[in-house]
Structure 1
Amino acid sequence: MPTSPHALLSRLNDIAQVVAQTGHALALLGLGSVGRELARLDRWSDLDFFVIARPGQVGPFLDSAWLAQAAPLAYTFRNTPDGAKVLFGDGLYAEYAAFEAARLPELPLAGARVVWAAPDFSGLLPEGEAALAGPITPAQHAHHLGEALTNLLVGLGRYGRGERLSALKFVQDYALGHVLALEAARGALPATGADPFSPERRLEARAPGLAARLPAFTPGYAGTPQAALALLAHLEAHEPVPPALSRAIRAAAQAAGD
């Protein structure tokens, strides 16, 4: 899958030409690292884009076969009602969606870049960074903390029962996700460089200190008891963890590890 920024941008321009030649579109918008954040583009990037279709013309763009006019296709998968995932024959990967212009106000367009637009395209794109979550409320804080702790407890029970895959999901995925939300809320996970749709994106660059703890939080299939104890210790260092839950989680971790 590794490619080059030049290859990605060249392919996106080829796609834009195909879109323009159909006569059925108003614009092609680049998103993510092929949007306005071109500085993030690297050999591990892929293509994300929106086709803004003329009224009644979305349908032809939802059949990914049209992309073969830009380059041969190896695989396509219609993953949502509005879009698809595509692998080109040269290994370049893309995800896209198509919408009528009337839906522009509801689309996540912060950071989008106009790659091509018809002369009559009048869509206005937001100029700022993608909206990130602001300070969480006390109720949201309580929710994340309660979910993190109870996910640890439930996951350890699954591990003890022999359901190790389910245990991994509860502890090393669900609980960790709530821990990251708490980290962001207390400012330990900076918003700079954050992805509002995937809070774990670029975590290693944004918070190296926290990233150094990830191996302890995510040791893998056989390490759920150790992960639960590491996450619990982290929560206890930064959050008001009820002693009863601490005792229950430690007891469950010891029993699950026996």
Structure 2
Amino acid sequence: MTSPDAVAALLHRLDLIAGGLAASGRALALLGLGSVGAELDRMDQFSDLDFFVVARDGQVRALLEDLGWLGDGLVQAFRNTPDGFKVLFEGGVYGEFAVFDEAALRGASFVNARVVWLAPDAPRDLPLRRRPAATATARLDAAARTHHLGEALTNLLVGVRRFRRGERLSAWQFTQVYALGHALALAADATPPAPGWADAFGLERRFEARYPGLAAHLGACLPGLDGTPGAALGLLNLLEELRLPEWAGALPLAGQVRREAGAALAGPAALDARGRLPG
């Protein structure tokens, strides 16, 4: 359940920042992003405070070097990019921000900004890049599906073999990170999403809400460091259930993954005289 007090604390902090920017005389605007931007309807107590500061010409450096405009209660500030910081305030409010001049803002990559504060002489046409909640995404073409499927299956094969060699960490990464990413891209493309905000930069954001049926597979696909063989089988089952036109052409590779994952579940790998895994 969303905490009204926590949400109010986030919005209050934005108001304090706006007041600090106005008093500094160095800024033109404060733009909220994400769930404190145009997507306020999904804001909750777990939201970050993401925002852009639009600086007056020649004032970017000054705003980055003196953070007094953030107001009282700043606990820690970590400069993570040349343009901005990650910050923590009293009460646990966490935020990320960047400072741009007007020209740089117009070339920056973002969506769904909201004007929190605007100086009286600020341009009224600052980019906000609004998009509807139900954004239609372009479907994958055959070449893209073939690429994702091939990458998923080859990553699974490498992952299972590294698991059998004893490289548990690398095996986990190949199966439950690399292969999973390609499999979810295919699954999301083949599955109509539930209504709600899609993330423009990461499929994994709000995946459970947008694809509840697919999310039910995640436990089998993400069993952890010691579960690579089971993860490989779980992802194979997910891919097979998608009934992709490209699946028939991938059956030899999928079969090899299934055999080797089954062998890994059965016991230690038996290597031939040359130290190779049986195929």
Normalising to structure 1: TM-score of the pair?
A: 0.92
**Conserved? CA contact 1:83–1:96, under 8 Å:** yes
Report the AA paired with residue 119 of structure 1: P
Correspondence for 1:87: 88
Q: 1:64 to 1:97 in 2, by over 3 A?
A: farther
> Equivalents in 1 of 2:173, 2:238: separation in Å?
18
Correspondence for 1:200: 204
Give ranges in structure 1 of 5+ residues lacking alignment: none
Shift of 1:155: 1.1
Correspondence for 2:252: 244
Residue 173 in 1 paired to residue 181 in 2?
no
Correspondence for 2:54: 52
> Equivalents in 1 of 2:142, 2:66: separation in Å?
46
Correspondence for 2:159: 155
Residue 129 in 1 paired to residue 132 in 2?
yes
> Equivalents in 2 of 1:184, 1:80: separation in Å?
32
Report the AA paired with residue 72 of structure 1: G
Correspondence for 1:114: 115
> Equivalents in 2 of 1:252, 1:74: separation in Å?
51
Deviations 1:26-81 (A, max 9, x none): 100000010011111111112000001111211122236335x5122222211112
Correspondence for 2:31: 29
SS of corresponding position for 1:90: helix
Alignment of 1:37-76 (within 5 A): 37-63=39-65, 65-67=67-69, 69-76=70-77
Deviations 1:57-114 (A, max 9, x none): 11122236335x5122222211112111011132210000111100222223421000
**Conserved? CA contact 1:47–1:93, under 8 Å:** yes
Report the AA paired with residue 18 of structure 1: G
> Equivalents in 1 of 2:75, 2:206: separation in Å?
29
> Equivalents in 1 of 2:87, 2:237: separation in Å?
43
Report the AA paired with residue 140 of structure 1: A
> Equivalents in 1 of 2:67, 2:170: separation in Å?
38
Report the AA paired with residue 227 of structure 1: A
Correspondence for 1:11: 13
Deviations 1:163-202 (A, max 9, x none): 1111111111111111111122223445742101121111
> Equivalents in 2 of 1:56, 1:231: separation in Å?
52
Identity %: 52
**Conserved? CA contact 2:111–2:200, under 8 Å:** no
RMSD of the TM alignment (CA)? 2.0
**Conserved? CA contact 1:168–1:221, under 8 Å:** yes
> Equivalents in 2 of 1:204, 1:114: separation in Å?
29
**Conserved? CA contact 1:58–1:98, under 8 Å:** yes
**Conserved? CA contact 1:189–1:203, under 8 Å:** no
Normalising to structure 2: TM-score of the pair?
A: 0.85
Deviates more, 1:169-178 or 1:54-63: 54-63
**Runs of 4+ off more than 6 Å:** none
Alignment of 1:206-221 (within 5 A): 206-221=210-225
**Conserved? CA contact 1:183–1:189, under 8 Å:** no
Determine which structure has more spread, i.e. the larger CA radius of gyration: 2
**Conserved? CA contact 1:133–1:196, under 8 Å:** no
Give ranges in structure 2 of 5+ residues lacking alignment: 268-279
> Equivalents in 2 of 1:177, 1:211: separation in Å?
13
Alignment of 1:220-239 (within 5 A): 220-238=224-242, 239=244
